[in-house]
Amino acid sequence: MTYQVLARKWRPKRFADLVGQEHVVRALSNALKESRLHHAYLLTGTRGVGKTTIARILAKSLNCETGTTAEPCGVCQACTQIDAGRFVDLLEIDAASNTGIDNIREVLENAQYTPTMGRFKVYIIDEVHMLSKSAFNAMLKTLEEPPAHVKFILATTDPQKVPVTVLSRCLQFSLRNMTPQQVAGHLAHVLDTEGVSFEAPALALLGRAAAGSMRDALSLLDQAIAYGVGDVREDGVRAMLGAVDQRYLFALLEALADADGARLMQEVEALVARGIGFDSALAELAMLLHQLALAQTVPDAIAADEPERDALFALALRLGAEDVQLYYQIALHGRRDLALAPDEHAGFSMTMLRMLAFHPAQGGAEVAPRAAAQNRPAPGAPQPAANLAPAAAAPSPARALLANIGGKSAVTPPAAAEPLPAAETEPEPAPAAALAVAPPAADTAPLPPADLAPWHEAPVAPSAAATAPMLAVSEEVDAADTVDDEMVELPAAGDADGELAEYALLQAEADATPAEPAVIAFDGDWSALIGQLGAKMGAARMLAQNAALKLWDGEVFHLAVPEAFRNMAGRDFQDKLRTVLGEHLGRAVQISVSIETLDVETPAMRDARFKREQLAEARLIMQNDKVVQQLVQEMGATLLAETIQPVQE
């Protein structure tokens, strides 16, 4: 006996056998039960979702010998002949090969005659959008008011190409793509009935590969049975489809979580060695990231029998929710741009490197504090000499400047760094030995003892003993010399070079003292504040641009974000925005974000409106331009308004 493929063998014969089209089945079943029948139906949807199948079941329901019913018997002469394709009152027309007006005229001329065997004469026109314009016009009148015994069932994968005059005369049903879970469940039923052993993960792979088409899924199932010599196994289906083993994808994401670029590239090369298609690898990676997002936000959405459930939740704890969302977008864009890459290997590698570049550990501003915290010794632990005496490693810039003034060396660096004493409650003046001073030469005046702290310490108040000569010198110089509002001791008169050198030392050390950040007042203009910050905001700009300021109480920015930008309101984005605002305003601030419907403009909305106004103004200027108007009037030119764009200065 000739083998019949599964897609034909398992074509549904009743409405109850249909999968995933309950909304259509319910409407047609109720219409048949109540005899509320339309004269023309239009079924739309992608390939393999059941358009022709529903049309044939509807034809059986209309002509079943038991009467017009939603459950045809399937055994009467009309039902068996319709299933076999031999029913004389059912005419299936392929509009793709019968596009002309002559073909339609022949159909319409026969429509006036009563049925030969059945109750209704049913015309099924498949791919109706392929008919020519004249053919559509020829059938309009008959389609609007056909004879009582005629029913039209039109099917198309592209309803946009069907004239609205035809659409308005039909009762339209849009068939949905089936979910991978629905496809896998039906395939399991088919294999159980056929007596074929299988693995559930293999059917899940076939369900995703079918892309919503049950016919494609059954064809792939036929291929998988042949590939596995009577069995449907996960490894065989992956090899057949060129799909990636989940273990390899987990290895990639674990390397990303660890910010380990070397291991990440090793895993990419491992995929190359296994001959895995990079397009399918990115598709599978996006699917895995989707599951990770579900595990982080809606854990109950992960099925209890998911084979990788434990690994999913373990990885979901290691990756931030914002990182998962970003990696998902990068995977989608990387797959789209794969054809533009020099080769697929380079495109896939670049996609993974892009994910690594956006890892939190790669941000320079964030790594430094984290590294400093990790390297900071525990409280009470002895500190390394390098941290206690940095002067031993490199001389102070002020000392270097002092040594080079006039080509003379006034101060020499200490021979060895000595541990500095811990800070005391009452600061004492630094001893003269704290600064190693070279013995005076013939042409060099000795430096007076300085009551200044070493250059790497905070300045301390001078002692009472040191204050007196300072005041004496200040009287002689006509006015008190100050550095940052603090009195500065000047060297004794008598050596101009010594005075200049010592003053340069004090001035340079004073300049090196960091100034307190200025406190900036905020006037409540959120958009202006975001414009001032500009590129300094980094990743926080996404939250700031799409948020509206509800209230500013001097300490807390109360922001509102629309539902479409909920993912921008995460804790990481809030922390980054709080840091940027605090640094700009010169004081600590807090961020409070709520999700709600906005009645005011966000900075992003304002920028979009401004661009629209610019575009409208630019187009109006072009339309009113005298040269353009002359070209239109005298040469029949056409101004393409959609190509006009404002010039950005």
Assign 42 to helix, strand or coil: strand
Tokens of 497: 């070079």
- Cα distance between residue 485 and residue 556, in whole Å: 34
Average model confidence (pLDDT) across the chain: 77
| 552 strand-pairing partners | 557
Per the rule left: phi > 0, alpha: psi between -120 and 50, beta: everything else, 648 is beta
180-241 to CATH, choices 2.60.40.10, 3.40.50.1820, 1.10.8.60, 1.10.1270.20: 1.10.8.60
Chain position carrying tokens 């009551």:
451
- Using 50, 70 and 90 to split pLDDT, how confident is the model at 590? confident
Q: How many CB atoms lie within 10 A of CB 276?
A: 20
Beta strands 150-156 and 486-487, pairing class: unpaired
Q: Is the CB of residue 46 less than 8 Å from the CB of residue 177?
A: yes
- Using 50, 70 and 90 to split pLDDT, how confident is the model at 64? very high
Q: How many CB atoms lie within 10 A of CB 570?
A: 16
% of residues, the chain, pLDDT over 70 = 74
Chain position carrying tokens 């209704």:
120
The pLDDT value given to residue 366: 42
pLDDT tens-digit readout, 377-390: 444 444 443 333 33
Q: Is the CB of residue 244 less than 8 Å from the CB of residue 208?
A: no
Instruction: Output the DSSP codes for 24-39.
Output: HHHHHHHHHHTT---S
CATH class of this structure's domain 526-600: alpha beta
Q: How many CB atoms lie within 10 A of CB 28?
A: 22
More confident residue, 124 or 646: 124
- Using 50, 70 and 90 to split pLDDT, how confident is the model at 61? very high
The pLDDT value given to residue 408: 41
The pLDDT value given to residue 501: 58
Task: Give the range with max mean pLDDT: 345-354, 558-567, 570-579.
Answer: 345-354
Kindly tell me if the per-residue pLDDT of 109 is higher than 80: yes
Chain position carrying tokens 């400093």:
372
> What's the sign of the alpha-carbon dihedral 8, 9, 13, 14?
negative
Closest by CA to 162, choosing from 44, 48, 46, is: 44
The pLDDT value given to residue 149: 92
> What's the sign of the alpha-carbon dihedral 574, 575, 580, 585?
positive
> Average of pLDDT values for 170-197?
91
CATH class of this structure's domain 246-362: mainly alpha
Closest by CA to 53, choosing from 87, 92, 3, 26, is: 92
pLDDT tens-digit readout, 399-424: 343 344 444 443 444 444 444 444 44
Kindly tell me if the per-residue pLDDT of 32 is higher than 60: yes
- Cα distance between residue 519 and residue 578, in whole Å: 15
The kind and range of the H/E element at 98 are: none
- Cα distance between residue 609 and residue 255, in whole Å: 43
- Using 50, 70 and 90 to split pLDDT, how confident is the model at 487? very low
- Using 50, 70 and 90 to split pLDDT, how confident is the model at 470? very low
Assign 563 to helix, strand or coil: helix
Rounded to the nearest 10°, the torsion over CA 208, 212, 214, 217 is -20
Rg (CA), the chain: 40
- Using 50, 70 and 90 to split pLDDT, how confident is the model at 1? low
The pLDDT value given to residue 504: 59
Tokens of 561: 């974000």
Q: Is the CB of residue 468 less than 8 Å from the CB of residue 517?
A: no
6-174 to CATH, choices 3.90.1200.10, 3.40.50.150, 3.40.50.300, 3.30.420.10: 3.40.50.300
Closest by CA to 175, choosing from 62, 71, 27, 30, is: 27
Closest by CA to 74, choosing from 57, 54, 89, is: 57
Per the rule left: phi > 0, alpha: psi between -120 and 50, beta: everything else, 172 is beta
pLDDT tens-digit readout, 602-612: 888 888 888 88
The kind and range of the H/E element at 279 are: helix 278-297
Tokens of 125: 């026109």
Kindly tell me if the per-residue pLDDT of 230 is higher than 60: yes
Query: What's the pTM value of the predicted model, to 2 decimals?
Result: 0.51
The pLDDT value given to residue 507: 62
Chain length of the chain: 649
Residues of 230-249 as b/e, b for ≥16 C-beta within 10 angstroms? eebbbebbbbbbebbbbebb
- Using 50, 70 and 90 to split pLDDT, how confident is the model at 170? very high
- Cα distance between residue 26 and residue 196, in whole Å: 33
